[in-house]
Amino acid sequence: MTHVAQELASQPDCWQVAAGMADGLAHRLPAAGERIAVIGCGTSYFMAQAYAALREGSGRGETDAFAASEFPAGRPYDRVVALSRSGTTTEVLELLGRIGDTSRRTVVIGDPDTPMAAMADDTIVLEFADEKSVVQTRFATSALTLLRAHLGLHTDAVVEDAQVALAEPLPSGLVECSQFTFLGQGWSVGLAHEAALKMREAALAWTEAYPAMEYRHGPISISTRSTATWMLGEAPSGLMDEVHATGARWVAGGLDPLAELVRVQRLALAIANARGLDPDRPRHLTRSVILSSTV
């Protein structure tokens, strides 16, 4: 069994641990009313997007999400929350350095012995969710679960959905599809981007991701008999019929969107397997992007 297969299967247990930590860590997490930015790179950036939509949507305060490299210089925030499994990603480290003490800096990391821990006002280490894999699964979803639980938006039903996502067979015919479009709404837009990234990283699949209502504005032109469109969360009215009319497969996200992401992670491994790829050795990727020159 590959590392990534083992790690993705441990997500229900990890989510339970992460959710159980939320109350005890509340003093290190953003208070209601704070104006915050959440930053990261790759998978961590997409988790930042999901958390930002959840937090602002729950009325806890203005919450922006940025790829660390695109943070708007000089914009004042009460707090900047950085998500990074490795704690070594260059763009995140540089940004935290630039921010200095102009904003409170909170980091959620997987490894305590990393430079990021020393740069933060508040450090949260999810060591139990750290991974051997290059391709992230459980660290990212556990970090999001912790943040979601802190907002009061995590329930046991999410963990049960993840167990279903691991146990049920994948929809037939998906492995053979030539292209995959992932759609989300609100917080699941970030998850749709992560689903697409996972399929690219682990399976070299042609994937795209959009807010669901954007799908009609161009992306639908790609859909045809050999493609699939996968909705994470509830679908906008009429969209399923429009996808069916193109001949493409429609995958309805009946589970909690985070558990739907687990189904996509499984699909990525199934496609990697079918294509003879090793998801523990993804092409051109490293566990952390550490740049020798400044960005």
Would you tell me which residues interact with ligand F1P (CB under 6 A)?
A: 40-44, 84-86, 89, 92, 134-136, 201, 285, 287-289
> Considering beta carbons, is residue 136 or 223 the nearer one to ligand F1P?
136
> Considering beta carbons, is residue 56 or 280 the nearer one to ligand F1P?
280
> Considering beta carbons, is residue 216 or 287 the nearer one to ligand F1P?
287
User: What whole-number distance in Å separates Cα of residue 37 and Cα of residue 49?
Assistant: 10
DSSP state string for 86-99: SS--HHHHHHHHHH
Q: What is the DSSP letter of 31?
A: P
Q: How far is the CB of 288 from ligand F1P (least distance, A)?
A: 5
φ, ψ for residue 237 (rounded to 5)? Answer: -60, 135
Cα dist from 56 to 37, 38, 62, 186, 201, whole Å: 11, 12, 5, 10, 30
> Considering beta carbons, is residue 41 or 251 the nearer one to ligand F1P?
41
User: What whole-number distance in Å separates Cα of residue 238 and Cα of residue 224?
Assistant: 17
Q: How far is the CB of 134 from ligand F1P (least distance, A)?
A: 5
Q: How far is the CB of 109 from ligand F1P (least distance, A)?
A: 8
> Considering beta carbons, is residue 3 or 287 the nearer one to ligand F1P?
287
> Considering beta carbons, is residue 157 or 290 the nearer one to ligand F1P?
290
Q: Count the residues in the chain.
A: 295
Q: How far is the CB of 175 from ligand F1P (least distance, A)?
A: 22
In the bound state, the residue with its beta carbon closest to ligand F1P is 42
Q: How far is the CB of 15 from ligand F1P (least distance, A)?
A: 18
Q: How far is the CB of 54 from ligand F1P (least distance, A)?
A: 19
User: What whole-number distance in Å separates Cα of residue 94 and Cα of residue 108?
Assistant: 16
| Residues in Cβ contact with 101 at an 8 Å cutoff, skipping those fewer than 6 apart | none
Specify the pairing of strand 122-125 against strand 207-211. unpaired
The CA radius of gyration of the chain, in Å to the nearest whole number, is 18
User: What whole-number distance in Å separates Cα of residue 200 and Cα of residue 66?
Assistant: 21
Nearest partner of 197 among 46, 90, 56, judged by Cα: 46
Q: How far is the CB of 57 from ligand F1P (least distance, A)?
A: 24
> Considering beta carbons, is residue 34 or 201 the nearer one to ligand F1P?
201
